[in-house]
Amino acid sequence: MRDFLTVFERLLAHFGPQHWWPGETPFEIMVGAILTQNTAWSNVERAIANLRAAGALDARAIVAADPERLAVWLRPSGYFNVKARRLRAFCRWYLAEGGFEALRRQDTPALRRALLAVQGIGPETADDILLYAFERPVFVVDAYTRRLFSRLGLTDTQAYEPLRAELEAALPRDVALFNEYHALIVQQGKSVCRPRPRCADCCLRAECAFRRAAG
């Protein structure tokens, strides 16, 4: 495979646009980014539906909610007690910072540092929020990204920050591109480039180093 942009073009031609991230508002996208840790998106949708039905899909309502009740609403997302604490911590920070309009005025490095300082927000979650809620050109690296590019022979690193920097340096700094590319990688990772890969179904197989090595 020649480069990262070629991979994007092949995946887009094969799967088509993915229309990510699901969410009616930037705040809902942020909530989804926190709840999707270690679970399937379908489970996150159920938890968000619970918050919406309870009139609690709002930072102030989440902070004011009884902790046990909040955990019940989040139960479908798994690790619900941990996620309830993390979501409350995020919402307290979000309100203390002045909400979305105040946060969006920060430059990307400062906003990323602030997000990473919030309890339970790691690099992948922070970058999900930056890319999809604040529309910043930050590439999200996840397990699918590491697996795909390692198998294609395009990177020698599995570490988050070096791989993110490598991708951002190699691609045009474009929010729409990063958005679509991450979504396509997830689709490829779920349907084809799985732990036990379905190489026969892969649109990248002709130039895949992993497939060549496996014979």
pLDDT higher than 90, residue 205:
yes
Q: What is the pLDDT of residue 215?
A: 62
Name the pLDDT band for 147 (thresholds 50, 70, 90): very high
Instruction: Write out the H or E segment, with its range, that includes residue 179.
Output: helix 175-191
Tokens of 80: 């619900």
Q: Report d(CA 105, CA 83) in Å as an integer.
A: 27
Banded pLDDT at 207 (limits 50, 70, 90): confident
Question: From the CB of residue 161, how many other CB atoms can be counted at a distance below 10 Å?
Answer: 10
**Residue 161: its H or E element:** helix 160-170
**CATH class for domain 26-133?**
mainly alpha
pLDDT at 175: 98
Q: What is the pTM of this model?
A: 0.95
Residue 2 has pLDDT above 80, yes or no: no
pLDDT at residue number 211:
83
Q: What percent of the chain has pLDDT over 90?
A: 94
- CB-hemisphere CA count at 13 Å for 127? 18
Q: What pLDDT digit, counting tens, does each position of 5-56 carry?
A: 999 999 999 999 999 998 999 999 999 999 999 999 999 999 999 999 999 9
Average pLDDT score, the chain? 96
Where do you find CATH 1.10.340.30 in the chain? 26-133
> What separation in angstroms does the CA of 169 have from each of 48, 87, 164, 181, 183?
35, 32, 9, 15, 19
Distance between CA atoms of residues 203 and 15, nearest Å: 9
Q: Which helix (H) or strand (E) holds 164?
A: helix 160-170
Q: Helix (H, G, I), strand (E, B), or coil: what is residue 22?
A: coil
Give span(s): CATH 1.10.1670.10, the chain: 4-18+140-214
∠ CA 125-139-48, nearest 5°, is 35
pLDDT of residue 212: 80
DSSP letter at 21 equals P
Token pair 């004011």 is found at 64
- Decide: 44 and 147 in contact? Cβ < 8 Å: no
pLDDT tens for 45-80 read 999 999 999 999 999 999 999 999 999 999 999 999
Could you report the per-residue pLDDT of 107-121, keeping only the tens digit for each? 999 999 999 999 999
Has residue 135 got a pLDDT over 90? yes
4-18+140-214 fold: Endonuclease Iii, domain 2 (1.10.1670)
